[in-house]
Every structure is written in C-alpha cells, then in structure tokens.
Chains A and B, each alone.
Chain A
Amino acid sequence: MRNFIVRFLYAPAALLIFSTVSIAQTAQSSGAPKPKAKPGAFDARDFSGVWNPAQSMQPRGQVNPIDLSGHPDPLPPFNPAGQAKYLANRKFIDAGDVLDCDPYGTARNLFTPRPFENIPARDRLLQHFEYYDNWREIWTDGRDFPGDLEPDFMGYSIGKWDGDVFVVESRGYNGKQFLTWQGFPLTESMRQTERWQRVDHDTLKIVFTFDDPKMYAKPWTITFFYKLTNWILDAHPCTISELKKYDDTVSHRDNLPGRDYKPQN
C-alpha cells in the first residue's frame, strides 16, 4: 500500500521536475535556435504529447478492447476460469456498477476512449490518463523488476528499446481491476507486453500481448493505434463523494443499485 501511495505522489512531482526532458533527447544547448522541422517529420523515439485512441484503425478480426457495445466479438481465448470470471464481471457491469474509484490499471486506461499524455522524464516515461487522473511510470533506466514487487492496480512497468520500438513489460498487477471496460479479467499472474512504434508524426501503434495463464488458455495479442492531438489534458480524479452523488441523481433513479451492488462469482 505504501508503495502504491508513494508512486502516485512521485508521479506528479516527477512531472514538474522532468517535464522538459525527453528519453529520446540528448542534451541540447539552451540558446541555439531550433531548426525548423520539416512538415510531417518526427522523432521515432519521441512519444511525448497527448494521444487519443483511434479504434477504427485496429485490424479487423482482432479482439476489440474498446467495443462500446459491451459484447465484443471475437472474445479473448479464455480458459474455463477466465470464462467464468468474465461472465461474472459482465453480470457486475450489466447490473449497473463500476469498481468505485479504483485506478483503471494500465490496459483499461489505454483502452478507454479518453486521451492520455506521455511525459518523458530522465529515468522514466510518465503516462497521465485523463479519465480517472491515473498515472503510470514506465522505468527506462535499465532496471529490472524488483524482487519484492508489491502488486497494485497500475502494476510495475519497465521499458527498453528494440531498435525504434519501445518495448514495455509490465507485471505486479493486483488483479482487482478489469483488463478492459467490458470486464476481461486479469490476475496477479498477468504479464503484459507492449511494443510501441511511432509509425508517423501523428500515429502511435502499440502491439499488446497479454499472458495470464490463470485466465487465458494462451497469450493473446492485439494491435491498437493512437492519434496525436493538440489537446490539453483536463484530468479529473474520481472521488467517492461524486460517485455517490451520481448514484443518487442517476443510478438509483434508473432503478440501478449503483455502488451498493457487489460482484458475484
């Protein structure tokens, strides 16, 4: 718990300290005029900026992690336990509840139709997700996963370069969140791999591989795209008091239980 809190306190502080430093950049002289970039030119190792999901670019036939119908087809390769957990999660979602103000985790944040900002720092890449004001650290200083990794909602991520592909490995999830908002499950066994590639100035491609043998019969992979925007992130934290107000004015009036409902397995 302490690590969880410390990480979330560190993230904004790191933003203030390192927000002008890029993991892709070398030191630059402060007074020299910046050469004018050619239109469309980009640094393949620079992922900074505000990005927004571009779900229409996803290749057909893959699991759609952002399917707003709530009934994606095809589904991931669940094993029996994963199938049962997914159906329980669907029941929970269809009953009208959300997981209070729990952080969304990394996958669910990246598959929520809301923007996020990548903020390069000296030793890590920070991701700031607008919807729930969640933060993620992707360590880029060459470290390995700590031996005493304490599971939490956002997991622990390290990033390394494979050419111009940024490979992010994540683990240390507590399994208390959904992988996507449709209720795909995950457990503490989840090993998440992302291969980031800036394919042009405006487009970020991420190939995700999810490996959680407790929920899925085999690792499964999807490709997802994001578009660079000129938005300024306007993050709002989730608060219990606002959720309760929402339940009073909307959920309960719509004969839904709101936060009173508990997931059933």
Chain B
Amino acid sequence: MNSSLLLSIVTFVYCLAAFLYIAAWVFKKKELAVAATWVTIAALIGNVAGMGMRWHESYQIGDGSYGHAPLSNLYESLVFFAATIALIYLVVEYRYKNRTLGAFVMPIAFLCMAYASFGTMNKIQPLIPALKSNWLIAHVITCFFGYAAFAISFGVSLIFLFKDRFQDKNKDTGRSFLPSVALLEELTHQMVTFGFLFLTIGIITGAVWANSAWGSYWTWDPKETWSLITWFVYASLLHARFARGWGGQRIAYLSIIGFMAVLFTYFGVNYLPGLHSYGSV
C-alpha cells in the first residue's frame, strides 16, 4: 500500500459520497444522506492518511533529502484542496444541519481528486531551494482553506440560483429538500467571509515569504497578480453587501465570478510564466 494507491481509492470514495448526496437529494431519502456523511468522513480520513503517508514516503527516498510536507506541486495541492473542501463541508453540514449541500459540494472534491490522480504527475520530487521554507506550508494551507471556502460558497450560490429560479413553479420536487433561501444566503456570506480572511492571510504569508526568499514582497508575478484580482472580486462582493446592501442573486453571481477567478489563479495562471511551481502538470 502506498500513498498513490490509497489516494486513488479515496478518489472513488469521494465519488461514492457525491453520488450518495445527489441520490439523497433527488429521492429525498434521509438515510442515503446520513450514509453520504459517513462516506465523506471515511474519504477525508483516507485523504489525510494518504497525505501523511506521502509525507513519510518523501523521507524514504533520496536518502531523506527529498523529505517535505506534501504541499509542493499540483498533485499534492489538489489532494490537499480536496481534503480542505471535505473538512469545511463537514463542519458546515454539522453546524447548519443540512445534508443536501453535499450534492453540490462533494462533486468538486471528487473532481479535484480525479484530476490529481489521473491528470497530473504524482511522483515525489525534491524541493527546489526556493520552496524550502516554513512559509510555504503556512502559505499553501491558508490559501487552500480560502479556496475551499470559496468552492463551497460557489456550490451554495449554484443551489441558490437554482432554487431561486425554480422555486415558485413545481414546488413539490426534490428542491424543497434544499435549505431555505435565507440559509443559503447566510451560508454564502459565511463562506465568503471565511474564505476572504484566509485568502488575505494566504496572500500575506506569500508576500512575507517572497520577501524572505527574493527580497521583495510583491513582484507582480502573474499568480500574485491574479490572486490580487481574486481578492478584489471578493472585496467588491463584500462592499456590495455591506455598503450597498446587495443580496440574493447578485451576490450569488459575484461569488460565482469570484470562484472563476480562483480557478484561474489556480490553473489558468500556469500558462503564463512565473515563479509558482504548480505549473508542472
């Protein structure tokens, strides 16, 4: 058993969880949703265990010189991303006592893992000198907590729009199983604020790290610029909400736009030249 195998299995467990959540929502079966929660917990445990194993494995090769926390390339970051999504989702599910959201969130975690397992190179590589810093760990963890919260707010916004559109017509379908519009709005806001705080810390730790490695905290590297753009999108969302009292649909659209910016920051930027290392697929 090695970490790659375990994480491949975890991919399918996430798939099962997503499938169960969707089934529970469509057929309105609470038992399925409860099962989905447990499957998600199992997947998360497997996910974290897989990362732990990978960490350990990195010390077994190259006379230990490769050893590093599994947060240094695209594969490792996707695996971590899936774990943060699952973790935050479970907390939300627990706090808001609603299990339908999983139908929209777990597929994202599954897609992350699927992309990681089948679309990227998962060999353990040694760290280049620039990445050898504790700031790397702080930076990646905070950024991905932010991204994961944004991913969930994206899922929630989708449900919101979906519900908003179809609510009045055919009332008695699976949709009534969805949380109330007010709760969805609240959740979007909670996730955006949580994500924003972490994105802020993520950008800041990145800047501090850059300052210790290259001597300037901001160099307009495309990834930095795009993370700033993302930050601006969410800041606009917050201003629209706080200062102008926007709500509902418009906030939902903004949160979707924000998540698109997140995705571009994460993947799209790799097609531009820069310092960040997740480019190597």
A and B are partners in one complex rather than unrelated chains: no
> What residues make up the interface of B, taking CB atoms closer than 8 Å to A?
none
